[in-house]
């Protein structure tokens, strides 16, 4: 039996042996080349060697080696190459020019030995000498990898996090520690980081997941830092398991979804029930008014007193329902403002006229101090009127004697030119300890002296929100026992298009 030793050696050597034309086209691909790079002979033959195994970042590297071999007959090199699955491997290679009878290059013989393991050991010894003790003291899982994506050092925290025994991570490809669906994209991302190695802080970038040795996935945060060394740039990763945080975030998200559904249900209920709630109350108010006018027949003093109590309670309940509907619309953003020119003096005169009987019944002077000029703002007339009615109603309600004075003037508030409508009273005033809750929903001033005054606790809260929608604000100053001053400041430079619109302004 004749043994072809050349073929035997070619087929049995573990190194990659490749024969190409001087132009780089593969004409022979050994079993060792298939073992190292993952391509079969059928997949490699006829293709350019550089296109098969040279990483894009080293595209000039193969051409330079080939040119050196042609110039000098042979070349030796150590570099990084890429396997079919994208894995980067370190190669200790050599190539020799095979010339024809005419002395011209006919073929190039390549021999490529996979030295990735040796490179990992060299890198590991280097980083262990410098960083091992420091990294073991770090609270986070720390992994250092070389340019090929091979782990050269992992501290105990990393080994425990991923479920591997001591030193078992060394030499593994980084992508082994993540779910398979992320590996292809991560190889490309890693190549981009190698081209531009910048520090990436913890928590920035994409959502990432780790993969434990038992196949369990878990969410992680990772920081990246390039570490220069004599053997080439390394990358240090600090890794944190954020499973607990994700669980909390998911629970909060689910609660927010439930809350949003509850709010939507509440809005639908209030929108659907507004007519049903108001109609019977308006009927009660109307019928009690008719009976108090004695149109159906005479009533005695006690009956009259009781009917007035029924009417007052019904009006109070209707006011509360209206305020709640207003608050719901404002909070849900379903308020459309009918913006246009609003003459401030004209609106104030209308409000004062409607409150004159209430002030007269308490023996109060209701006065207006107009400016020398006419002031007009671009705003929603009904919203401005509603705010002024709330402020004026409070001023009269909490004043037992003296004067309620309305002033209109041009003013500068927070560096903005404003029309300032101030309502001052000589009432009970507001203590300093109560000012913090004055504009909160359902808040009412405490104290025995104030229990005689009815209220929903929504008026000022709604007024402030309406003022904000108008790009204005409500200011106040008060001294307990001497009175209060509430000021509605409306910007005079705001245009109609700058004020938010959402849905329908509530009707009462």
Continuous H helices in 301-448 = 301-331, 344-361, 381-397
Q: What is the pLDDT of residues 331-370, one digit of tens each?
A: 766 677 888 999 999 999 998 988 888 888 889 999 999 9
Most confident region among 128-137, 155-164, 302-311, 440-449 by mean pLDDT: 155-164
Task: Return the DSSP state at 149.
Answer: S
Instruction: Choose the weakest-confidence range: 38-47, 312-321, 380-389, 390-399.
Output: 312-321
**pLDDT, mean over the chain:** 82
When pLDDT is averaged across residues 154-168 and rounded to a whole number, the result is 91
Contact 368, 355 (CB under 8 A): no
Q: Which stretches does DSSP call E strand in 175-287?
A: 208-211, 217-227, 234-241
pLDDT at 124: 80
Task: Return the DSSP state at 251.
Answer: H
Task: Return the DSSP state at 507.
Answer: P
Instruction: Choose the weakest-confidence range: 209-223, 292-306, 314-328.
Output: 314-328
pLDDT at 449: 43
Between 500 and 247, the higher pLDDT residue: 247
pLDDT at 265 over 70: yes
pLDDT at 496 over 50: no
Q: How many helices (H) and strands (E) does the chain have?
A: 13, 17
Could you write out the DSSP letters of every residue in 288-324?
A: HHHHHTTSSS---HHHHHHHHHHHHHHHHHHHHHHHH
Contact 428, 461 (CB under 8 A): no
When pLDDT is averaged across residues 191-215 and rounded to a whole number, the result is 77
175 vs 489: CA distance, rounded Å: 62
Helix (H), strand (E) at residue 161: helix 156-162
Task: Return the DSSP state at 438.
Answer: T
Positive or negative CA dihedral for 215, 216, 221, 227? negative
CA atoms within 13 A on the CB side of 92: 8
When pLDDT is averaged across residues 239-255 and rounded to a whole number, the result is 90
pLDDT at 187 over 90: no
Residue whose tokens read 């050092």: 153
pLDDT at 490 over 90: yes
Architecture of domain 247-331 in this structure: Orthogonal Bundle (1.10)
Q: How confident is the model at residue 425 (pLDDT cuts 50, 70, 90)?
A: very high
Between 225 and 129, the higher pLDDT residue: 225
Record: fold of 339-498: Heat Shock Protein 90 (3.30.565)
Estimate to the nearest angstrom the gap between the alpha carbon of 54 and the chain centroid. 41
Between 66 and 245, the higher pLDDT residue: 245
pLDDT at 177: 92
When pLDDT is averaged across residues 311-318 and rounded to a whole number, the result is 79
When pLDDT is averaged across residues 63-82 and rounded to a whole number, the result is 83
pLDDT at 28: 92
User: Which is nearest to 467 in space by CA: 354, 351, 337?
Assistant: 337
pLDDT at 332: 66
Give yes or no on whether 118-241 and 247-331 have one common fold: no
Instruction: Choose the weakest-confidence range: 113-117, 168-172, 183-187, 331-335.
Output: 331-335
pLDDT at 320 over 80: no
246 vs 141: CA distance, rounded Å: 19
- The first and second tokens of residue 39, run together, are 């391509």
pLDDT at 427: 87
Could you write out the DSSP letters of every residue in 460-499?
A: HHHHHHHHHHTT-EEEEEEETTTEEEEEEEEESS--GGGS
The verdict on domain 5-114 having CATH code 3.40.720.10 is: no
pLDDT at 447: 45
CA 369 vs CA 121, 352, 386, 404, 407: distances in Å: 90, 12, 20, 11, 5
Most confident region among 127-131, 159-163, 435-439, 454-458 by mean pLDDT: 159-163
Task: Return the DSSP state at 505.
Answer: P
Architecture of domain 118-241 in this structure: 2-Layer Sandwich (3.30)
- The first and second tokens of residue 449, run together, are 């002296």
Contact 22, 67 (CB under 8 A): no
User: Which is nearest to 378 in space by CA: 467, 468, 470, 466?
Assistant: 470
372 vs 346: CA distance, rounded Å: 14
78 vs 90: CA distance, rounded Å: 7
Domain chopping of the chain, boundaries = 5-114, 118-241, 247-331, 339-498
Instruction: Choose the weakest-confidence range: 64-68, 195-199, 299-303, 311-315.
Output: 195-199
Task: Return the DSSP state at 265.
Answer: H
pLDDT at 344: 93
Phi, psi of 367 (to 5 degrees): -120, 160
Q: What is the pLDDT of residues 451-469, one digit of tens each?
A: 444 555 677 888 888 899 8
Helix (H), strand (E) at residue 36: helix 31-37
pTM for this predicted structure: 0.50
pLDDT at 67: 81
């Amino acid at each position: 039996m004749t043994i072809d030793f050349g073929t035997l050696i070619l087929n049995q050597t573990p190194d990659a042996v490749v024969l190409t034309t001087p132009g780089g086209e593969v004409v022979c691909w050994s079993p060792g080349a298939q073992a190292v790079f993952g391509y079969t002979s059928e997949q490699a033959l006829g293709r350019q060697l550089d296109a098969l195994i040279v990483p894009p970042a080293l595209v000039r590297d193969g051409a330079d080696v080939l040119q050196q071999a042609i110039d000098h007959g042979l070349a030796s090199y150590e570099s990084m190459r890429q396997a079919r699955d994208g894995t980067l491997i370190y190669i200790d290679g050599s190539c020799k020019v095979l010339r024809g009878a005419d002395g011209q290059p006919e073929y190039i013989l390549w021999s490529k030995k996979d030295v990735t393991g040796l490179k990992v050991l060299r890198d590991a010894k280097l980083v262990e000498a410098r960083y091992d003790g420091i990294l073991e003291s770090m609270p986070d899982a720390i992994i250092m990898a070389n340019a090929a994506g091979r782990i050269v050092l992992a501290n105990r925290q990393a080994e425990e996090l991923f479920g591997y025994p001591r030193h078992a991570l060394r030499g593994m490809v980084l992508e082994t520690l993540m779910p398979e669906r992320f590996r292809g994209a991560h190889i490309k991302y890693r190549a981009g980081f190698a081209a531009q190695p910048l520090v990436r802080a913890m928590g920035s970038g994409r959502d990432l997941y780790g993969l434990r040795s038992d196949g369990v996935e878990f969410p992680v945060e990772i920081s990246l830092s390039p570490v220069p060394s004599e053997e080439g740039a390394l990358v240090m990763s600090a890794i944190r398991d954020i499973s607990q945080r994700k669980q909390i975030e998911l629970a909060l998200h689910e609660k927010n979804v439930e809350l949003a559904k509850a709010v939507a249900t509440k809005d639908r209920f209030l929108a659907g029930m507004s007519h049903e709630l108001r109609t019977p109350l308006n009927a009660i108010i109307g019928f009690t008014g008719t009976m108090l006018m004695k149109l159906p027949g005479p009533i005695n003093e006690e009956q009259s007193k009781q009917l007035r109590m029924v009417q007052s309670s019904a009006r109070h309940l209707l006011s509360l329902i209206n305020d709640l509907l207003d608050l719901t619309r404002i909070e849900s953003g379903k308020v459309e403002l009918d913006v246009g020119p609003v003459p401030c003096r004209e609106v104030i005169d209308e409000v004062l006229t409607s409150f004159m009987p209430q002030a007269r019944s308490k023996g109060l002077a209701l006065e207006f101090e107009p400016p020398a000029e006419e002031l007009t703002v671009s705003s929603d007339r009904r919203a401005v009127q509603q705010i002024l009615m709330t402020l004026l109603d409070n001023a009269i309600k909490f004043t037992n004697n003296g004067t309620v004075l309305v002033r209109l003037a041009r003013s500068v508030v927070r560096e903005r030119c404003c029309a300032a409508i101030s309502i001052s009273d000589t009432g009970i005033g507001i203590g300093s300890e109560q000012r913090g809750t004055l504009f909160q929903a359902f808040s009412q001033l405490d104290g025995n002296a104030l229990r005689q005054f009815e209220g929903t606790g929504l008026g000022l809260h709604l007024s402030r929100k309406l003022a904000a929608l108008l790009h204005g604000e409500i200011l106040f100053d008060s001294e307990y026992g001497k009175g209060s001053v509430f000021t509605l400041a409306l910007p005079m430079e705001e245009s109609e298009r700058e004020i938010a619109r959402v849905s329908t302004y509530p009707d009462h």
